[in-house]
Amino acid sequence: MDTNWNSGLNFTDSYQAGGWWLDPQGKDFGDNASYYKLDLANAKKLLSAAGFPQGFDATIRYPNSAQYTLDRQTQPIIGFLQDLGIKVHQMPITDYTEEYIPHDRDASGAYEGMGVHSVTGGTPTLISAISSLVALHLPQSGVTFNGYDVNGKGDGSGDPQLISILAKAQVERDLATQKKLIQDAQRYLGKAQHILMLPGTSTGFWAAWPTVQNFRTWDGGVDETWEHYGMWIDPTKAPNA
């Protein structure tokens, strides 16, 4: 299987091919690549130094509704936290419209504990690498901004150094300079870790019996129904024949 880690920018094939994504395990990432290595012993030392030698309790919120679920993506994260000694209380959100969207996805971090969510359905990532980071880290981005600050005041002012990098990328006309700025932002986020991305991606696999016709002929959307994909059963093929 092919695997790729997310940095502060989610990995996509186009971002890799275009030179936007920076491999957090690659030689070009710099010293902050160390923050993407599994080091439980050191992590526990840091927890102890922060006054939590036995860990602490934390709630983790995530969507688990008929319209949208991140249950499979969240369970490994819960395992990582438990390995560290954090006692996780799960809060699966089954109400997509009235609870998940306003109180998790679009809440800009204004909730107790940790939230696992998309960024307006992933739209900023689909637009460009710049918009992907701007949506998450510029305070003027609205509900997609994660609501953090670095001054300890809870004023949602963001990180001035990161804001400066992304603001330059937004107005820069030279493509090579744009890419350098986005790579600089990823290096910076490697240590800052204002928000945590899902770990990464891997090759996907699909399989179907020969009797299933039109399997994966059309790919798109989230409605994986027989009617949506136009699939049908051919009784002359295995295993029915």
Q: What's the confidence (pLDDT) of residue 197?
A: 92
Mean pLDDT, the chain, whole residue set: 92
For residues 135 and 27, is the Cβ–Cβ distance under 8 A? no
The pLDDT of residue 206 is 84
Rounded Cα gap, residues 36 and 147, in angstroms: 23
pLDDT-wise least confident of 65-69, 95-99, 219-223: 219-223
**CB neighbour class for 157 (10 Å; exposed up to 12, middle 13-18, buried from 19):** middle
DSSP H or E stretch at residue 59: strand 57-63
Cα within 13 Å of Cα(5), Cβ side: 16
Q: Write the CA distances from 186 to 5, 151, 163, 227, integer angstroms.
A: 12, 21, 13, 42
Strand (E) or helix (H) holding 131: helix 129-137
Instruction: Please give the residue that has the higher pLDDT: either 219 or 178.
Output: 178
Say yes or no to pLDDT of 212 above 80. yes
Q: Which of 44-58, 61-75, 168-182, 205-219 has the lowest mean pLDDT?
A: 205-219
Q: In what order do the strands lie in the sheet with 57-63?
A: 87-93, 57-63, 114-115
Percent of the chain topping pLDDT 70: 95
* pLDDT at position 228 over 70: no
Judge whether 148 and 138 are in contact, CB under 8 Å.
no
Taking the C-alpha atoms of residue 64 and residue 71, their distance in angstroms, rounded to an integer, is 6
For the segment 91-146, what is each residue's pLDDT rounded down to a tens digit?
999 999 999 999 999 999 999 999 999 998 888 988 999 999 999 999 999 999 99
pLDDT at 218: 67
- Segments of the chain assigned to CATH 3.10.105.10: 3-202
| Average pLDDT score over residue span 53-61 | 96
Residues whose CB is less than 8 angstroms from the CB of residue 6 and which lie 6 or more positions away in sequence, other chains included: 24, 197, 198, 199, 200, 201
pLDDT in tens, 81-104: 999 999 999 999 999 999 999 999
Report pTM. 0.85
Identify the pLDDT of residue 204: 83
Architecture, CATH, for domain 3-202: Roll (3.10)
Residue 42: pLDDT above 60? Answer: yes
pLDDT of residue 2: 87
- Would you state the pLDDT for residue 219? 57
Q: How far apart are CA 76 and CA 232, in angstroms?
A: 35
Q: DSSP assignment, residue 169?
A: H
pLDDT for 205 beyond 90: no
Taking residues 197-213, what's their average pLDDT? 89
